[in-house]
A = this chain, B = another copy of it.
Amino acid sequence: MVKKTILVVDDEKDLLDLIDYNLKKEGFNVLKAENGEEGIERAKEFHPDLVLMDIMMPKMDGMEAVEKMRKDDELKSTPIIFLTARSDEKTEVEGLNKGGDDYITKPISTTKLISRIKAVLRRFDETEEEVNRLEVHDLTIDKDRYIVQRGDEEFQLPRKEFELLYYLASRKGKVRDRQTLLNKVWGDNIYVVDRTVDVHVRKIREKLGDHYIETVKGVGYRFKE
């Protein structure tokens, strides 16, 4: 198995070294950073599998660093475990909480930390395994969740609409005629009038806007490139 890399961001040097030592003993690669700014830099450079982030730090604190990470396409899906000293920070962290993240309060028990890390990595691996998620233009089409996102908006499309969109988006730029779409989305031996596709396309456009699915007259539809 490949060693996982963990980036630890904390301004207390002693704690940093302690964690470093313990993680290495467990077979992880460890990167260290002493403030948020440095943390971001390292993260961008090395793409760690997980980040251990202290909340309270000088220069750029943990929350800020995390917000920056979330906005960076390369880093936004990296799982993060927060280190918090006070429990009221917990609430704040929960607000940020996405995906497989977690938090742990100081003082830190090494075994607990390690079991948390392993748990998060395990969870994360699971979710990563089957990435049925498409990102096209400003849309995220998440087949695991059956949800389409654009910025903060979430769209719950009905099944056929969702699958049609997903199919077209996964072949971005390629034109598909109605019959092909029916075969692929509806199923092979199904008797449905091809006009049906139009109606679904229209409903998608109604919800997401006209600018994703283009009509190619006389041929079919295409997801805009």
Contact = CB atoms under 8 A, between A and B. Distances in A.
A97 to B, nearest CB: 9
A119 B122 CA distance: 20
A216 to B, nearest CB: 5
Nearest to A172: B99
A76 interface: no
Given A116-B130, A158-B217, A173 B144 contact: yes
Contacts of A219: 146, 159
Interface stretch (A37-45, A107-115, A186-194, A195-203): A107-115
Nearest to A222: B145
Nearest to A137: B94
A185 interface: no
Interface in A195-219: 216-219
A115 B144 contact: no
Nearest to A101: B111
A72 interface: no
Interface of A: 99-100, 109-112, 115-116, 119, 122-124, 126-127, 130-131, 144-146, 156, 158-160, 173-175, 216-219, 222, 225
